[in-house]
Structure 1
Amino acid sequence: MKGTGKFLAALREAGEGRGCIIQAMDASLVVGERHAAFAAEKAVRAFTERRNVAKDLGLEILRYASGQRQIERALSMGVSEATERVALIVMGTPPDISDILELDGEGPRWSEAAVREAFDIGDLEIEAAGEERIPDLVLERVALIDAYR
């Protein structure tokens, strides 16, 4: 994604100007709306209960969405120059971001290979659960983040 820095700066400015959180993620690693919503709920709960690892709610969302305990590792799920599609989580009053986004009208897509690598889902796990359960395996990893304390 060319202009990643400008894109992220525009999102930050749009969010700050309206008092909301906007977290961008590589859409090839987001297995659906349920994944994004669950990560956001877990992050908000962590902040509410003062168990958050990140000081920023957006980063805490990214940490949960990635299934990683460490922020540095969670950043691999964020937007980079290699990102082709972006998934956004917007919490609070949504800003008018139509001027900074180009929507292609397609539904969410995720890459099985990228998701399996990012969430360390091996062949044995796929054999046991089935490929159709990959989104559930990702949600399981999001849920287990708090167990690794």
Structure 2
Amino acid sequence: MSDLRLIFGRPKIREKEAFLAALREAAAATGSVIQAMDASYLVGERHAASAAKRALRAFAEERNVAKDLGLEILRYAAGQRQIERALSMGVSQATRRVALLIVEEETPPEISDLIEVDGEGARFCEAAVREAFDIGEAEVEAVGEERIPDLVLERIALMDAYR
């Protein structure tokens, strides 16, 4: 499997389309895949790694939905079968902090020109995650708030079960 890196920070380019274009250019320069996500929806490194692993497996088994590995990763990270719905977890004009999941095939791209790395790791927004992954109050009461990341990982795993 390819090497995975997860980097958190604030975009240096505020305009969404220009930021995404710069990421595509950086990825193309090295043959890497760089998938940007709104960091408020990412519950941790396990979340990103699980999405990447499942997307890579889907491509290897030729059962991917998206034609682009980055979009397939985003689809798994969002726990959505439909690409259009998965895009809600991507970068928007309102995104203040991004998570970049980099699937490295060669030397990693230099991204310090694109984001101000903060090194703070995952700090998800509980309300946003609960809404995005349809996690209800009863579930949280049953397992506890500290298990929200496990509920997200469960939803990602169930995507393959409900093909």
When normalised by structure 2's length, the TM-score is 0.88
Residue type of the alignment partner of 1:22: I
2:39 matches 1:27: yes
Residue type of the alignment partner of 1:83: T
CA contact (8 A) 2:74 2:90 kept: yes
Higher normalized strand content (fraction of residues): 2
Query: Bigger CA drift: 132-141 or 97-106?
Result: 97-106
Q: How does 1:42-81 map to 2 (within 5 A)?
A: 42-81=54-93
* Secondary structure of 1:23 counterpart: strand
Q: How does 1:1-149 map to 2 (within 5 A)?
A: 2-92=14-104, 93=106, 94-149=108-163
* Secondary structure of 1:73 counterpart: helix
Residue type of the alignment partner of 1:90: I
- Deviations, residues 68-127 of structure 1 (Å, cap 9, x unaligned): 000000000000011111001101131011111112343321000000000000001111
* Secondary structure of 1:102 counterpart: strand
* Count of residue pairs the alignment pairs up: 149
Gaps of 5+ in 1: none
Superposition misfits of 4+ residues, deviation over 6 angstroms: none
Deviation at 1:148, TM superposition (A): 1.7
Counterparts of 1:53 and 1:107 in 2: how far apart (Å)?
29
* Secondary structure of 2:117 counterpart: coil
Gaps of 5+ in 2: 1-10
Counterparts of 1:8 and 1:48 in 2: how far apart (Å)?
26
When normalised by structure 1's length, the TM-score is 0.96
- Deviations, residues 16-74 of structure 1 (Å, cap 9, x unaligned): 11101000000000000110001000000000001100000000000000000000000
Counterparts of 1:137 and 1:130 in 2: how far apart (Å)?
10
Deviation at 1:146, TM superposition (A): 1.1
Query: Bigger CA drift: 30-39 or 85-94?
Result: 85-94
Counterparts of 1:104 and 1:56 in 2: how far apart (Å)?
28
Counterparts of 2:81 and 2:29 in 1: how far apart (Å)?
30
* Secondary structure of 1:25 counterpart: strand
CA contact (8 A) 1:116 1:122 kept: yes
Residue type of the alignment partner of 1:122: G
